Chain A
């Protein structure tokens, strides 16, 4: 293989990308060396098994990936702004929409929400860490290296170019030779290991590690949505794993699962993909519902309306999410009967979702609403998501879907659910729990600017696209006809407004890092309802010195406030068992990264060596007798008193 086949050449934009990557990497290495932070990086972050730090790293990856996939989005919108635009050629445009979609789903939506779950769920249920902290670290590093593998495709080897759905036979070895699709397959496979492991981990954590008294129906709604989500992950992700593996074998070893030649079944890919893909939609939306529920109840200063109904609605949505996948290809010609059944199941999802919308509205009824930034995102979600929801029902009507399918109507619909749903929730949750993560709040004023820019930009960007779709503009075309110019131009203006909103948000993060007050109480927003706000800010390594005893409702902190209880009861202090930090997860996933990279280029020997090294790492883990360590009572007492500002000689 020649060097110019290895590196992507011939595109000025890609050369600029290469330079940017080189400069940023050099800057990071320089800064770490200059400030002597290598040891800190390794000891505090790369080897950590603390769920809070892992959560922070997930969110950092998500933010970096929003930037990358957001730039992709802006490049597409720029290309579509004018009918004569020749900014991206067809091939480049195809790569850009593929990486945009794939990254936004796998490396933004998923890690952002999983990051928030990492930080918040153990705190909400009174646990001191995940059930399997080591596995949790492994999950993060698998996501991290999966994301890296997928992203380097744009400078090395060539990016995938068949859309995030990667349909066979277009993505097969005959129609799409070269390493591009292999990056997609192996990048997702690598990060998928982590997602599945996290699903299991969260499930066990929530089922087994809740503090005494927190029964399932006294669990905060975000933890509930996480539990249901982890069930969906555990049932859905193996399907993707199998589908990716089969196509990898097809492409690299010449089998015929999805090929045209040799009696393969290309349409089986679409089925398998959406059998995972539709539940996936709910994997990224249910936690968002949970986040909104928490925030709305907090800042409406009122109990969530219909808590039990909300829980059952989530469970019902999760169940239905597995029986609607065919609506992604009503046009495949499965027949009237099949399409009718899947139309009904699809529309049925609107029922529990509608109930949730009404319950949020009822929560606001007779409440006392204040409007800090997280509440703004949550309130904006309701009307924005409603548009996405009703157009979803319209798409569910198969006979009409024949006209919406593969058009900008569809594009607009899924952005209208994913952005007000997942993205708004991620921002809302991040701002809401930010003090628990970093020990200070985000600047409200900058946050409001970011919010309004993003919200207005979002509607300006995507609302016109419904009409473009109805006027016959297919998705994934790299040029627009002159008759579609006006709406496309408006859409592009909206997209850049969203980009500006995001930049303001990032500016707010930097500004707040420098100027925000550090000395915060545990209940930073004053109206916290759940257990995470009972911990001091920043949250100590062990989370809770002592656990609450008298849990009566799902609003645990409200009960505790009434009883005058805290999570620091000196009489009950006992030493706390903590897991040791370890570099193994990082090393193991780094090895798997190199093995996968080798497999992308079909260097089988190297890949096999990497695989063997991974198995060796698993052996090492199996004979690991590190039992962790204990934090003793004295240290706990001293630490909690300092954190809570308690007088030392009171006792």
Chain B
């Protein structure tokens, strides 16, 4: 019996090891665990740090559970008289121990959590020799509008950012509450009308990545996605200059058209909507609903028809950005 038990434990241990290694191997393909910048990196580290504790807890609970259920089942042929103590009602010492251990775990988790929470409110340290570039990200039903006040350009449904430099996103929304999220860059933050949120992100690798609205905003929500093109500072500047020179100028009536509920393709303009309205300010909170009130009730009849692939990164664009 004893020998059998050992082999059982061994099997479990091998299995656990296998699960853990395959888990780590799988991380490479999992967006959140494959970050391309310091913000996502710090979150990934925090997640994996927590996962180690959680696996420990699970192993302990599962082991005790398996042993007690197996050993103390009524039809266990190896039961002894001393295996049944129905009057056992508690034990102050042992209960104190298992109150203390979770408290210690919570403390061990709290410290890095709080450190990271505070760190994420500031631009990443690795690029603090440069000022963060400011990008206004505005959610509208059902698109994302990106304004670059320094470059004086605006894009819809796609985003270019320079690498190795912090980006200060100023988030707001024209009406419904959205959530700005680029999983491989870092965690999300809400974009709300009449309220500006700041989110610092940074890319250290060049490429095209998926971004989306993560908070439900109605019918076109699934299509409220955008691609993020990360490129070297020079390429970024070149791109910005091109847009500034070649893209049409954004007029207020055109802008009002853009923010009307519906889906749009990728677009670029010179000039930004910040000249007409700042949705993140209290004055700008009802700009969209004042203009489009009667249009929100109309259905857009969004179906999952062939070709509808909001989560896909367009191969053409990928090449275009390289």
Binding site for B on A (CB under 8 A): 79, 84-86, 89-91, 94, 161-163, 167, 169-170, 174-178, 260-263, 266-267, 300-309, 329, 331-333, 335-336, 339-340, 343-344, 347-348, 350-351, 354-355, 357-359, 361-362, 364-371, 379, 382-383, 386-387, 390-391, 393-394, 397-403, 405-407, 467, 470-472, 474-481
Among the listed stretches B66-74, B154-162, B235-243, B247-255, which one makes contact with chain A, having 4 or more residues with CB under 8 Å of it? B66-74
Residues of B within 8 A of A370 (CB): 73-74
Of B57, B89, B175, B301, most A-chain CB atoms within 10 Å = B89
Chain A residue with the shortest CB-CB distance to B187: A402
Q: Which one, A262, A366, A475, A480, contacts B84 given CB within 8 A?
A: A366
Check B50–A393 contact: CB distance below 8 A: yes
Q: Which one, A260, A261, A368, contacts B72 given CB within 8 A?
A: A368
CB distance from A16 to the nearest CB of B (A): 19
CB distance from A84 to the nearest CB of B (A): 7
Complex Cα distance A386/B102, Å?
13
Check A177–B106 contact: CB distance below 8 A: no
Residues of A within 8 A of B26 (CB): 467
Check A91–B286 contact: CB distance below 8 A: no
Check B179–A331 contact: CB distance below 8 A: yes
Whether B303 is near chain A, meaning CB under 8 Å from some CB there, is yes
Binding site for A on B (CB under 8 A): 26, 29-33, 40, 42-43, 46-47, 50-51, 53-54, 57-58, 61-62, 64-65, 68-69, 72-74, 79, 82-91, 94-95, 98-99, 101-103, 105-106, 109-110, 113-114, 116-121, 141, 175-177, 179, 181, 183-184, 186-190, 192-195, 197-198, 210, 212-222, 282, 285-286, 289-290, 293, 296-297, 299-306, 308-312
CB distance from B68 to the nearest CB of A (A): 4
Q: With A355-B99, A474-B181 known to touch, is A303 a contact of B86 (CB < 8 Å)?
A: yes
From DSSP, what is the main secondary structure of chain B's interface residues?
mixed
CB distance from B294 to the nearest CB of A (A): 9
Complex Cα distance A333/B73, Å?
51
Check B183–A91 contact: CB distance below 8 A: no
Check A340–B183 contact: CB distance below 8 A: no
The 5 closest A-B pairs by CB, nearest first: A402-B187, A399-B116, A481-B311, A90-B302, A472-B183
Residues of B within 8 A of A365 (CB): 68, 72, 88
Check B90–A307 contact: CB distance below 8 A: yes
Complex Cα distance A369/B70, Å?
9
Provide a sorted-by-A list of 17 A–B residue pairs whose CB atoms are within 8 angstroms.
Answer: A90-B221, A169-B177, A170-B218, A267-B192, A306-B89, A348-B106, A350-B106, A359-B95, A370-B74, A386-B62, A390-B58, A394-B50, A399-B42, A399-B116, A403-B40, A470-B32, A471-B32
Q: Which one, B89, B117, B212, contacts A474 given CB within 8 A?
A: B212
Check B85–A361 contact: CB distance below 8 A: no
Check A175–B296 contact: CB distance below 8 A: yes
Supply 20 further A-B pairs (C-beta < 8 A) apart from A343-B117, A351-B106, A390-B57: A161-B219, A162-B218, A167-B177, A167-B216, A170-B177, A174-B289, A260-B286, A302-B86, A308-B90, A329-B190, A343-B113, A351-B102, A369-B69, A397-B109, A399-B116, A403-B32, A406-B181, A407-B214, A471-B30, A478-B304
CB distance from A314 to the nearest CB of B (A): 14
